[in-house]
């Protein structure tokens, strides 16, 4: 079995998360070749074949040309699986390659199942086993679902070229907004999620954080809604944290949030939905109305 792993380069760097693709290939017991639109001076620790295109020439986000580069490689390698991370790069690019190859794509793979793959559904509350029809099969892997594996060695580089006009014009990156809140050093974080109900309830969550001597965190929906500033956001598009104690208040546990906090030392979740996916990572799940429980807990701490 043969996998073609599609690596991602961001701001000139080979991303460490690319090593999860090797972890997946290892789980399949497959041989691997890798495609990288990146830099000659930042190559993966991998002794196999590396198809390398120059990011200075083809850009870090240029889906039409990256698609062509991958298709040229598929032609040579004839892989069984073409594997991406389920990231802003992978979910953007994989369907383009799948459409060109008339091949099946399975998104956000979390596991390997008999004759197919496990995919999450319904906001991580449920799973599906899906069987692809035909080959090759394109897969995007959920971040953290497969172990990081650094094979080691120096790759055998095969230069990769293509020609053509890009369909979109990458203008540049906008740096992340400077964070005046550094959650990564906090020992205790108390985070507010949509389950708190309304913006007027944020101070009650902040009061618990203060009573514990911790910082206020937030999930994406309350930041998008303007209830809490983005500097407090925990998750893949916010900050990744690992405090000694993490208290999730009314947070259902979308994968993007879990990825940002699941390495916390001790996790308490307060949620009225006993089946919420946050329960999968929580050491203690308090099944309660968050706006009844949190003020009661804060009051008790004050005594």
User: Residue positions in the annotated binding site for FAD?
Assistant: 194, 219-220, 233-237, 250-257, 271
What is the footprint of another protein within residues 242-261 (CB under 8 A)? 244-245, 252
**Which residue(s) pair with 138 in the sheet?**
82, 105
Q: In the sheet that 105-109 helps form, which strands lie side by side, from edge to edge?
A: 105-109, 137-141, 81-85, 2-6, 31-38, 49-54, 156-159
- Binding of another protein by 123 (CB under 8 A): yes
Binding-residue pattern over the window 124 to 143 for another protein, x denoting contact by CB under 8 A? xxxxxxxxxxx---------
The candidate with the shortest Cα–Cα distance to 10, out of 102, 117, 87, 91, is: 87
- Binding of another protein by 1 (CB under 8 A): no
- Binding of another protein by 54 (CB under 8 A): no
Query: Helix (H, G, I), strand (E, B), or coil: what is residue 84?
Result: strand
Angle at CA of residue 202, ends 201 and 204, nearest 5°: 70
- Binding of another protein by 56 (CB under 8 A): no
Binding-residue pattern over the window 17 to 46 for another protein, x denoting contact by CB under 8 A? ------------------------------
- Binding of another protein by 161 (CB under 8 A): no
Residue whose tokens read 């459409």:
99
Query: In this structure, what are the phi and psi dihedrals at residue 190, rounded to the nearest 5 degrees?
Result: -115, 115
Pairing mode of beta strands 9-10, 13-14: antiparallel
Closer by beta carbon to another protein, 63 or else 79: 63
What is the footprint of another protein within residues 269-298 (CB under 8 A)? 273-276, 279-289, 292-293, 296-297
What is the footprint of another protein within residues 166-205 (CB under 8 A)? 167-177, 187-188
- Binding of another protein by 88 (CB under 8 A): yes
């Amino acid at each position: 079995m043969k996998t073609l792993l599609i690596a991602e380069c961001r701001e000139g760097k080979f991303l460490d998360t690319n090593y999860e693709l090797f972890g997946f290939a290892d789980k399949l017991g497959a041989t691997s070749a890798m495609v990288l639109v990146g830099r000659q001076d930042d190559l993966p620790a991998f002794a196999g074949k590396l198809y390398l295109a120059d990011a200075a020439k083809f850009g870090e986000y240029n889906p039409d040309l990256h698609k062509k580069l991958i298709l040229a490689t598929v032609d040579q390698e004839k892989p069984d699986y073409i594997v991406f991370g389920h990231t802003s790069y992978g979910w953007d690019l994989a369907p383009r390659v799948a459409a060109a190859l008339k091949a099946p794509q399975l998104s956000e793979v979390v596991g390997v199942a008999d004759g197919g793959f496990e995919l999450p559904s319904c906001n991580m509350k449920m799973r599906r086993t899906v069987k692809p029809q035909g080959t090759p099969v394109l897969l995007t892997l959920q971040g953290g679902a497969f172990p990081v594996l650094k094979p080691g060695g120096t790759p055998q580089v095969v230069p990769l070229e293509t020609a053509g006009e890009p369909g979109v014009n990458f203008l540049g990156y906008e740096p992340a907004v400077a964070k005046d809140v550094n959650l990564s050093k906090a020992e205790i974080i108390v985070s507010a999620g949509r389950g708190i109900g309304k913006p007027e309830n944020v101070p009650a969550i902040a009061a618990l954080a203060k009573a514990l001597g911790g910082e206020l965190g937030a999930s994406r929906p309350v930041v998008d809604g303007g209830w809490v500033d983005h500097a407090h956001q925990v998750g893949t598009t916010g900050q990744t944290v690992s405090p000694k104690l993490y208290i999730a208040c009314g947070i259902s546990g979308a994968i993007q949030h879990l990825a940002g906090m699941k390495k916390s030392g001790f996790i308490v979740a307060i949620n009225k939905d006993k089946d919420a996916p946050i329960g999968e990572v929580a050491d203690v799940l308090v099944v309660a109305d968050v706006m009844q429980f949190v003020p009661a807990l804060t009051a008790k701490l004050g005594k």
